[in-house]
Amino acid sequence: MTLDHHWFSETHSATGSAFSLKLQGKLHEAQSPWQQVAVYATEAFGNLMVIDGYIMLSTRDNFLYHEMMVHPALFTHPDPRRILIIGGGDCGTLREALRHPGVESVVQVDIDQEVTRASERYFPELCESNSDPRAQLRFDDGIAWVKNAKPGQYDVIIVDSTDPIGPAEGLFAEPFFRDCLRALADDGLLVQQSESPLFHLETILVPLHRTLRAAGFADTHSLHFPQCVYPSGWWTATLARKTGRVADFRAADAAAKPFATEYYNAEIHRAALATPEFMRRALESVG
């Protein structure tokens, strides 16, 4: 992270690249027991949340991430009713999940309530469904929560985590995914944010597919979408199904979705399933 009076810059030293936003000022800063949370006003991207110096979201483009973390998964599951979100403290993923009228309950488990409090104040549009009677916000250890879940308790688990360092490292590990598999019902599905295919292919994406398969998931597939505030501007969400194929989704239901979106639709879903050749070659060893 580089910060002067006018610009916030997140550098990615391994690739010699950086992303910068022109600032209007700092709105908020707090140190929780786990991380530092800051919010800035930017000139062109609205408010910007930063955790430990890394960009988490902006007002302008967060819809890309939140919609693609939720809607492909919920339109792939045959009947998603019981949803668990691990992480997701900004509550944008929660909001998107609750747009689905068939959803009966969404439990969000994030270890750090400071992220939610900052989001309520500076990103209120993301928190508009927090009072929905179907929503439960829990500030707890997501790894322990899944370990203690009853077998078959959830239909979909959404792992909306930060990068796999610090508190989030265990959310990319096989023991956690085995617990997720047990906590999912027979048609269960997991989705995990999985970083950039351009910058993190061999360090995160390929190992993630291998780990999910080793944990017992029948099929895995990464969906691609743009996200300009994240390293490389190209991001993925990786889906894992307990049974069946990730590529089989309810296209007719997605096309007739009863709610408005900014990015997601059935055509975007279908296109996001396409795998670039370099990634296809890298994943050949996974099977």
Per residue in 233-263, pLDDT (tens digit) is: 999 999 999 999 999 999 999 999 999 999 9
> Which pLDDT band holds residue 226 (cuts at 50, 70, 90)?
very high
Kindly report the CATH number assigned to the domain that includes residue 38. Answer: 2.30.140.10
Same domain flag for 148 and 178: yes
Number of domains in the chain: 2
8-46 per-position pLDDT tens digit:
999 999 899 999 999 999 999 999 999 999 999 999 999
Domain-terminating residue out of 14, 30, 58: 58
- As beta bridge partners, residue 7 has 22
Mean confidence (pLDDT) of the chain: 95
106-133 per-position pLDDT tens digit:
999 999 999 999 999 999 999 999 999 9
Phi-psi sector, 53: left (phi>0), alpha (psi -120 to 50), beta: left
Same domain flag for 97 and 138: yes
Give the containing element (helix H, strand E) for 240.
Answer: strand 234-241
The pLDDT value given to residue 218: 97
Same domain flag for 127 and 40: no
Phi-psi sector, 246: left (phi>0), alpha (psi -120 to 50), beta: alpha
Same domain flag for 125 and 267: yes
Residue 2 has pLDDT above 60, yes or no: no
Same domain flag for 39 and 125: no
- Structural contact between residues 110 and 139, judged by C-beta atoms closer than 8 angstroms: yes
Residue 267 has pLDDT above 70, yes or no: yes
Range of the domain at 25: 2-58
Least confident of 11-20, 95-104, 217-226, 264-273: 11-20
pTM of the model: 0.95
Same domain flag for 145 and 35: no
Same domain flag for 233 and 200: yes
Same domain flag for 41 and 112: no
The pLDDT value given to residue 3: 53
159-213 per-position pLDDT tens digit:
998 666 566 667 789 999 999 999 999 999 999 999 999 999 999 999 999 999 9
Burial status of residue 172 (CB atoms within 10 A of its CB: 0-12, 13-18, 19 or more)? buried
155-173 per-position pLDDT tens digit:
999 999 866 656 666 778 9
Same domain flag for 96 and 206: yes
Question: Which residue is catalytic, options 61, 110, 112, 160?
Answer: 160
Kindly report the CATH number assigned to the domain that includes residue 255. Answer: 3.40.50.150
Distance CA 226, CA 269 (A): 13
Same domain flag for 49 and 87: no
Distance CA 92, CA 82 (A): 17
Same domain flag for 52 and 66: no
- Structural contact between residues 164 and 172, judged by C-beta atoms closer than 8 angstroms: yes
The pLDDT value given to residue 65: 98
Is residue 272 classed as helix, strand or coil in its secondary structure?
helix
Active site residue 160: yes
The pLDDT value given to residue 168: 60
